[in-house]
Amino acid sequence: MQYPMSNMGDQPGAVAAEHHAVADKSDKPTRTLWGDAFKRLRKNKLAMFAVVWLLVTILVAVTADLWVPQVLGDPTASDTATMAANSRLAPSLEHPFGTDTLGRDVLSRVIYGARISLTVGIVATGISTIIGLVMGAIAAYYGGIWDTIIMRLADTFLAFPYTLFVIAMIAVIGNGIQNVFFAIGILGWPQIARVFRSAILSVKESDYIDAARAMGASDARIIARHIFPNSVASIVVYATMNIGGAILTESALSFLGMGVIPPDPSWGTLIQEGQKFLQTEPWLMILPGLAILTTVLAFTLLGDGLRDALDVKMKDA
């Protein structure tokens, strides 16, 4: 059989074109969930504003020892002479947030309070996230009696009002920054365990999990290499928002005198000290309150942006 000459001439060109198409496709960078999520997150203006605000807040808090005492004054000083001369001064260029009853610069105390509040939020959330991940993974993967025990234990924790539960634990173990870490972290795991359990159940019966089992992979390897990476997105979102909640809880404890021990500054302690002078020197309470508001709002906006960015159903504009 003879083929037309035109087809014989076109065949090498078609093969070459197909080869170049395959090469071009192979040259494209591999798309990943986190890479796509970061691209979508950058398009969210509110989330990026929250990121910038949090980075500035963290930078100022971390570097406070290098410049705050020299520029604004010692936030924990209690000099009687200074108190008499500088007690409850109004905001000015020298003291942008004014001074408290002991003559200490309120802005310097807000900055050092940011260090404590951010540390509590991050560390306590880290503790509750680790516990919640372990509990949620065991409950979802093994099911049966383990699922029943862990979920009923979570229900027991959730049956008590969270803040009152934390106050009760602090009353038993005592106040102080380390005990605040422990109390908030220990009591915050049930929600994370439930979220992670639901995420694992949605991928547990997937074909790639069955394939891993058929190849002889251990339970620990399946959880660590397959289930966890495909379920962790929801936990990232929840943990980010939970940092704001931990900051609010620590502020409430400090406001009640059950958190950070004076003279160390905390946003809750500053509000507690300033609420006595709300009618005469309102800045003593309002400005620390704004610090809490903006920081918690930033974590909430960032968590909301991460939720949208990690949604695989979202499409690039």
- Mean pLDDT for all residues in the chain: 83
The average pLDDT across 160-187 equals: 89
The average pLDDT across 106-124 equals: 93
The average pLDDT across 115-141 equals: 92
Q: Which of 71-75, 125-129, 213-217, 255-259 has the highest mean pLDDT?
A: 125-129
Tens-digit pLDDT profile for residues 195-234: 889 888 888 777 888 888 888 888 778 877 877 777 777 8
Lowest-pLDDT range, 204-213, 261-270, 279-288?
204-213
Q: Report long-range pairs for 163-170 (Cβ below 8 Å, ≥24 apart).
A: 163/249, 163/252, 166/249, 166/253, 167/253, 167/256, 167/258, 170/253, 170/258, 170/259
Lowest-pLDDT range, 1-15, 54-68, 94-108, 134-148?
1-15
Residues sharing a CB contact under 8 Å with residue 189, sequence separation 6 or more, in sequence order: 128, 129, 131, 132, 135, 154, 157
pLDDT of residue 314: 53
0.85 exceeded by pTM: no
Judge contact between 76 and 65, C-beta under 8 A. no
How many CA atoms lie within 13 Å of 16's alpha carbon, on the beta-carbon side? 5
